[in-house]
Amino acid sequence: MNILVPNINHPGQKSLSLKVRRKVYAVRYPKYITMKTKKKKIIKTILLSLFIIVANFAPGQNEAIEIEFLGNCGLFMTDGNLKVYVDFPYKSGAYGYMTYRPGLVDSIHENSIFIFTHGHADHFNRKGFKQTNQKLYGPWPVSFFLSGKRKYKFFELNDKGQNFSITKFKTKHRLSLKHYSYLIEWNNKRIYISGDDESADTISTMDDLDLAFAPYWLLHNASERGIKIQTKQIILYHHPSVESIDNKGEKVIVPVQYQKFELE
């Protein structure tokens, strides 16, 4: 017990050691001592309950993930805690693909993670990063023009959240020296991002996916080769806004721009 014990010796008396003084004090003022102990116990209990409450409110493994389709392969995903952009900002309308509302870049969330599949303008716009301090990850030439402190090393992405991990796969896209597809495992959900991958080789090795994002040419390739994609749902993205696409089954969703999906 570490309480302040007043010096209860009379002047002139030989001073007693702290240990002895504590004993004397406890005998003289037993009520005071028990009150102190009780107070400590109460504080301990309050702190413990607070800790339990905070622990229960901390982001758990089963938080829902909300995904917004921004256009082309552009996505915004969040579980209310971590914020992730994929292939956004891109150059609006590049190569005849989707435009997006001009305010979208200005309303980008602070402290987000930016991941790119490759550096083509319909996926990545360097100018979109000029006015910000946001950090990004992507294969050359995505990060080529940025200073080192604005680039993530790949392993750093996996330190971002307790229930968040990402794996990259080197996949093929014409006229792109390097192209990555990604598997994101987040709050017990498995989300696969194809980007502009042209063959179903890599996606065919995935199993137990909750959601797969794939362009129509990849789905063509899969169906031509009789490959079944092991996923609960496919979102067919990177469709030019003018093109109409047949829904190839209930599993395939062709999203409208800014449509939101929730993975629970």
Residue ranges in contact with Zn ion by CB under 5 A: 122, 196
Question: Any idea how long the chain is?
Answer: 264
| Residue pair 170/66 in contact by the 8 Å Cβ criterion | no
When the beta carbons of 63 and 122 are compared against Zn ion, the nearer one is 122
Cβ(227)–Cβ(206) below 8 Å: no
Please name the residues in contact with 194: beta carbons below 8 A apart, sequence gap of 6 or more. Answer: 117, 171, 181, 203, 212, 213, 214, 215, 218
Nearer to Zn ion, 143 or 194 (CB): 194
**Least distance (Å) from Zn ion to the CB of residue 122?**
4
As measured in angstroms, the least distance from the Cβ of 242 to Zn ion is 16
Nearer to Zn ion, 36 or 178 (CB): 178
Q: Which residue has the tokens 């092991």?
A: 230
Q: Give least dist CB 73 to Zn ion, A.
A: 6
Nearer to Zn ion, 29 or 217 (CB): 217
**83 φ, ψ (degrees, to nearest 5):** -120, 125
CB of 195 to Zn ion, least distance (A): 7
